[in-house]
Amino acid sequence: LYRPIELGKINVEDPDDWDVGDKKFSWLNESSTTMEDLNVRNNFYIDSNSGQILAKKLINGLYKLKFQIFDNHYQHMNSYGYGIGIIDEKFKAIKKD
């Protein structure tokens, strides 16, 4: 029904953090079967080439997104995490007299 919503890119602080093309982005503990990790992977997507984070569904809640980034040039792995909160506020009409 709806397209995924782009939330932003995973930032990597390393000597060559500008070279996104040399990096691969993935979930940390991708094989984890905890309910928290499964909810995150069901609601969010990571583009493994660009590091773009996308929301597949917008379901109210607080989510801890945990990533790993592999730098092909330096043959080095880093891990990062983000917290994301999704709150659905219904717009209310304000009537002025």
Percent of the chain with pLDDT over 90: 25
- Where is average pLDDT lowest: 25-34, 37-46, 87-96? 87-96
CA dist 21 → 5, 15, 66, 93 (Å): 22, 14, 20, 47
Domains, the chain, with CATH or none: 5-86 (2.60.40.60)
Q: Which residue has the higher pLDDT, 25 or 96?
A: 25
pLDDT of residue 46: 94
What tens digit of pLDDT does each residue of 77-89 get? 888 888 888 887 6
Sign of the alpha-carbon dihedral angle for 14, 63, 57, 77: positive
Coil/strand/helix, residue 19:
coil
CA distance 69 to 95: 51
pLDDT of residue 88: 72
CA distance 89 to 14: 38
What value does the mean pLDDT take over residues 67-84?
89
